[in-house]
Chain A
Amino acid sequence: NAGVMQNPRHLVRRRGQEARLRCSPMKGHSHVYWYRQLPEEGLKFMVYLQKENIIDESGMPKERFSAEFPKEGPSILRIQQVVRGDSAAYFCASSQDAYEQYFGPGTRLTVT
């Protein structure tokens, strides 16, 4: 059973560009979560989705950030007009029962 897949693993964007981060959950998992880890900090919750629904987006910045988990295909975290402060590791996790969450390897976003 493949684990949580994230791509790309590394992403470099210039200020003002868009970043798209993809996450494929583990087989059989219908709950997807996105977390962000800024340098020297712990992981911070961003958003919780189930298929075609955003369940909890209380951790998402109000502007420039959006997330989706369509009926078909991976979950996408989209960051528009990136700024240097968006540079971080973005982790996706999936869960079968909304308890134990299993994490992907992360996408390291660098904004230059």
Chain B
Amino acid sequence: DQQVKQNSPSLSVQEGRISILNCDYTNSMFDYFLWYKKYPAEGPTFLISISSIKDKNEDGRFTVFLNKSAKHLSLHIVPSQPGDSAVYFCAASGETSGSRLTFGEGTQLTVNP
């Protein structure tokens, strides 16, 4: 039962354009969501998070949007840079899962110069 899904295994964008990564979840008890970036042979790096009481959180070039009714969140990166090329994971936690994170399967973002 995949409770967090990232339906696009890969995304390719041009440098300077917007990257939009999407994530859907099925468990309505999730109330905290996070995005991580991962380079090969390294651990995930925390990027940005959002609580279910908000619908938007912004940090520099990264903005996360949460649509609770659609059980959907997205990460916007503007402007995209070649160094952003990595695998991006969304993750969720909530009351019934305690503080453990449930991860999606990741989206490989490639930013072309």
* Residues in chain A within 8 A of chain B (CB atoms): 4, 6, 31, 33, 35, 41-45, 48, 55-56, 58-59, 91, 93, 95, 98-106, 108
Contact = CB atoms under 8 A, between A and B. Distances in A.
A104 B98 contact: no
B101 interface: yes
A42 B103 contact: yes
13 contacts: A35-B103, A41-B105, A43-B89, A43-B103, A56-B100, A99-B93, A100-B46, A101-B34, A102-B46, A103-B43, A103-B46, A104-B43, A105-B41
A93 B100 CA distance: 10
Chain A contact residues: over half helix, strand or loop, or mixed? strand
Contacts of B36: 103
B99 interface: yes
Given A42-B89, A42-B103, A42-B104, A48 B98 contact: yes
Interface in B24-77: 32, 34, 36, 41-46, 49
Interface size class of B (residues with CB under 8 A): 20 to 34
Nearest to A55: B98
B43 A99 contact: no
Contact of A95 (B41, B45, B99, B103): B99
Q: Which among A44, A45, A58, A102 has the highest number of chain B CB atoms within 10 Å?
A: A45
Closest 7 CB pairs of A and B: A103-B43, A98-B99, A42-B105, A42-B103, A45-B100, A43-B103, A103-B44
A44 B103 contact: yes
A42 B106 contact: yes
Contacts of B43: 4, 6, 91, 93, 103-106
Contacts of A101: 34, 46, 99, 101
B79 to A, nearest CB: 25
B80 interface: no
A31 B99 CA distance: 10
